[in-house]
Amino acid sequence: MVKKDAVVSLSYTLTNADGEELDKSSADKPFAYLHGNKQIVPGLENALEGLAVGDKKEVTVPPAEGYGEFVAGLKMDIERTNFPKDIEIQPGMQFSADVNGNNQVFTVTGLEGGKVQVDGNHPLAGQTLHFDVEVVEVREATAEEMQHGHVHGPGGHQH
Protein backbone atom coordinates (compact mmCIF):
# COMPACT_ATOMS: atom_id res chain seq x y z
CA MET A 1 0.00 0.00 0.00
CA VAL A 2 1.19 3.54 -0.78
CA LYS A 3 2.17 5.15 2.53
CA LYS A 4 4.83 7.42 3.99
CA ASP A 5 8.40 6.27 3.32
CA ALA A 6 7.37 3.57 0.83
CA VAL A 7 9.14 3.43 -2.52
CA VAL A 8 6.39 3.82 -5.11
CA SER A 9 6.84 3.09 -8.80
CA LEU A 10 4.34 4.61 -11.23
CA SER A 11 3.51 4.54 -14.87
CA TYR A 12 1.79 7.78 -15.77
CA THR A 13 0.84 10.24 -18.43
CA LEU A 14 0.79 13.94 -17.59
CA THR A 15 -1.29 16.29 -19.74
CA ASN A 16 -2.23 19.96 -19.49
CA ALA A 17 -5.73 21.46 -19.67
CA ASP A 18 -5.61 21.30 -23.49
CA GLY A 19 -4.85 17.57 -23.43
CA GLU A 20 -1.25 18.11 -24.59
CA GLU A 21 1.08 15.39 -23.28
CA LEU A 22 3.78 16.93 -21.08
CA ASP A 23 5.47 13.85 -19.67
CA LYS A 24 5.05 10.12 -19.31
CA SER A 25 6.54 7.01 -17.81
CA SER A 26 5.75 3.45 -18.89
CA ALA A 27 5.23 0.31 -16.82
CA ASP A 28 8.49 -1.15 -18.15
CA LYS A 29 10.38 2.03 -17.15
CA PRO A 30 8.37 3.38 -14.22
CA PHE A 31 9.04 6.54 -12.24
CA ALA A 32 10.04 5.72 -8.64
CA TYR A 33 9.93 8.08 -5.67
CA LEU A 34 9.94 8.02 -1.86
CA HIS A 35 6.33 8.68 -0.82
CA GLY A 36 5.64 11.37 1.76
CA ASN A 37 8.97 13.11 1.21
CA LYS A 38 7.88 15.96 -1.10
CA GLN A 39 9.47 14.44 -4.20
CA ILE A 40 6.36 14.86 -6.35
CA VAL A 41 3.73 17.60 -6.44
CA PRO A 42 1.54 17.59 -3.31
CA GLY A 43 -1.76 17.18 -5.17
CA LEU A 44 -0.61 13.94 -6.78
CA GLU A 45 1.12 12.60 -3.69
CA ASN A 46 -2.01 13.13 -1.57
CA ALA A 47 -4.20 11.39 -4.17
CA LEU A 48 -1.95 8.30 -4.25
CA GLU A 49 -2.01 7.71 -0.48
CA GLY A 50 -3.52 4.30 0.30
CA LEU A 51 -3.46 2.91 -3.25
CA ALA A 52 -2.10 -0.57 -3.98
CA VAL A 53 -0.18 -2.21 -6.84
CA GLY A 54 -2.37 -2.32 -9.94
CA ASP A 55 -4.58 0.57 -8.84
CA LYS A 56 -5.24 3.19 -11.51
CA LYS A 57 -6.39 6.73 -10.91
CA GLU A 58 -6.99 9.95 -12.81
CA VAL A 59 -5.88 12.94 -10.76
CA THR A 60 -6.42 16.63 -11.53
CA VAL A 61 -3.97 18.88 -9.71
CA PRO A 62 -4.69 22.63 -9.50
CA PRO A 63 -1.71 25.03 -9.64
CA ALA A 64 -1.72 25.58 -5.86
CA GLU A 65 -1.10 21.83 -5.33
CA GLY A 66 1.20 21.49 -8.33
CA TYR A 67 3.94 23.89 -9.33
CA GLY A 68 2.28 26.97 -7.87
CA GLU A 69 0.58 29.96 -9.39
CA PHE A 70 2.40 31.97 -12.03
CA VAL A 71 4.06 34.98 -10.34
CA ALA A 72 4.59 37.87 -12.76
CA GLY A 73 7.16 39.41 -10.41
CA LEU A 74 9.50 36.46 -11.00
CA LYS A 75 9.92 37.52 -14.64
CA MET A 76 12.44 40.31 -14.87
CA ASP A 77 15.18 41.97 -16.87
CA ILE A 78 18.59 42.07 -15.19
CA GLU A 79 21.55 44.13 -16.31
CA ARG A 80 24.17 41.92 -18.00
CA THR A 81 26.78 43.57 -15.79
CA ASN A 82 25.29 41.67 -12.79
CA PHE A 83 26.60 38.39 -14.26
CA PRO A 84 30.23 37.26 -14.41
CA LYS A 85 31.94 38.63 -17.52
CA ASP A 86 33.56 35.29 -18.40
CA ILE A 87 30.25 33.39 -18.68
CA GLU A 88 28.41 33.32 -21.99
CA ILE A 89 24.74 33.85 -21.11
CA GLN A 90 22.28 31.94 -23.32
CA PRO A 91 18.54 31.20 -23.20
CA GLY A 92 17.79 28.04 -21.24
CA MET A 93 20.64 28.52 -18.77
CA GLN A 94 19.65 28.34 -15.12
CA PHE A 95 21.08 29.96 -12.02
CA SER A 96 19.96 30.39 -8.45
CA ALA A 97 19.70 33.53 -6.39
CA ASP A 98 18.60 34.45 -2.91
CA VAL A 99 15.09 35.94 -2.96
CA ASN A 100 13.83 37.05 0.45
CA GLY A 101 15.93 34.40 2.19
CA ASN A 102 14.87 31.59 -0.17
CA ASN A 103 16.97 29.96 -2.88
CA GLN A 104 15.14 30.62 -6.17
CA VAL A 105 16.02 29.02 -9.51
CA PHE A 106 15.80 31.31 -12.54
CA THR A 107 15.89 30.39 -16.23
CA VAL A 108 17.31 32.75 -18.83
CA THR A 109 14.53 33.34 -21.38
CA GLY A 110 16.23 35.88 -23.61
CA LEU A 111 18.82 38.58 -24.15
CA GLU A 112 18.02 42.07 -25.32
CA GLY A 113 20.61 44.81 -25.48
CA GLY A 114 22.45 44.87 -22.18
CA LYS A 115 19.63 43.04 -20.37
CA VAL A 116 19.22 39.38 -19.48
CA GLN A 117 15.57 38.30 -19.35
CA VAL A 118 14.90 35.71 -16.64
CA ASP A 119 11.93 33.81 -15.23
CA GLY A 120 11.83 32.31 -11.74
CA ASN A 121 8.56 30.45 -12.30
CA HIS A 122 8.56 26.70 -12.84
CA PRO A 123 7.69 26.01 -16.50
CA LEU A 124 4.40 24.43 -15.34
CA ALA A 125 3.49 27.19 -12.86
CA GLY A 126 -0.12 28.31 -13.21
CA GLN A 127 -1.18 25.16 -15.05
CA THR A 128 -3.76 22.60 -14.00
CA LEU A 129 -2.14 19.19 -14.36
CA HIS A 130 -3.92 15.97 -15.32
CA PHE A 131 -2.27 12.71 -14.31
CA ASP A 132 -3.40 9.27 -15.46
CA VAL A 133 -1.44 6.97 -13.13
CA GLU A 134 -1.05 3.29 -12.36
CA VAL A 135 0.80 2.00 -9.31
CA VAL A 136 3.33 -0.51 -10.68
CA GLU A 137 5.21 -1.40 -7.48
CA VAL A 138 5.27 -0.49 -3.80
CA ARG A 139 8.01 -1.61 -1.43
CA GLU A 140 9.60 -0.59 1.82
CA ALA A 141 12.49 1.84 1.46
CA THR A 142 15.91 0.53 2.45
CA ALA A 143 17.77 2.11 5.36
CA GLU A 144 20.17 3.67 2.86
CA GLU A 145 17.31 5.17 0.82
CA MET A 146 15.80 6.63 3.99
CA GLN A 147 19.16 8.06 5.04
CA HIS A 148 19.79 9.59 1.60
CA GLY A 149 16.17 10.73 1.19
CA HIS A 150 15.70 9.25 -2.29
CA VAL A 151 15.21 6.00 -4.19
CA HIS A 152 18.16 3.88 -5.36
CA GLY A 153 18.13 1.29 -8.11
CA PRO A 154 15.89 0.91 -11.19
CA GLY A 155 13.60 3.87 -11.72
CA GLY A 156 15.34 5.92 -9.03
CA HIS A 157 18.66 7.59 -8.29
CA GLN A 158 21.88 5.62 -8.53
CA HIS A 159 25.22 6.63 -7.00
Helices (H), the chain: 42-48, 143-148
- Distance separating alpha carbons of residues 77 and 119, to the nearest angstrom: 9
For range 92-99, the mean pLDDT: 90
Mean of the per-residue pLDDT values of the chain: 93
Give CA–CA dist 150/80, Å, rounded.
37
Number of domains making up the chain: 2
Q: Cβ distance 47 to 58 under 8 Å? A: no
57, 47 contact by CB (below 8 A): yes
**pLDDT for res 158:** 47
Residue 96 lies in a domain: yes
Say which residues have a Cβ less than 8 Å from residue 101's Cβ, sequence separation at least 6: none
Residue 143 within a domain? yes
Give mean pLDDT, residues 19-33: 95
Same domain? For 86 and 130 the reply is no
Is residue 20 located within the same domain as residue 61? yes
Least confident range from 50-54, 65-69, 103-107: namely 103-107
Annotate 23-45 with b (16+ C-beta within 10 A) or e (fewer).
eebeeeebbbbbbbbebbbebbb
Report, as an integer, the average pLDDT of 132-136: 98
| From 73-77, 120-124, 150-154, the region with the lowest mean pLDDT | 150-154
**Residue 44's pLDDT is what?**
98
Do 142 and 92 belong together in one domain? no
Do 21 and 140 touch, CB atoms closer than 8 A?
no
- 51-58 average pLDDT score: 98
Q: What's the rounded mean pLDDT across residues 5-24? A: 96
Task: Tell me the whole-structure pTM to 2 decimals.
Answer: 0.83
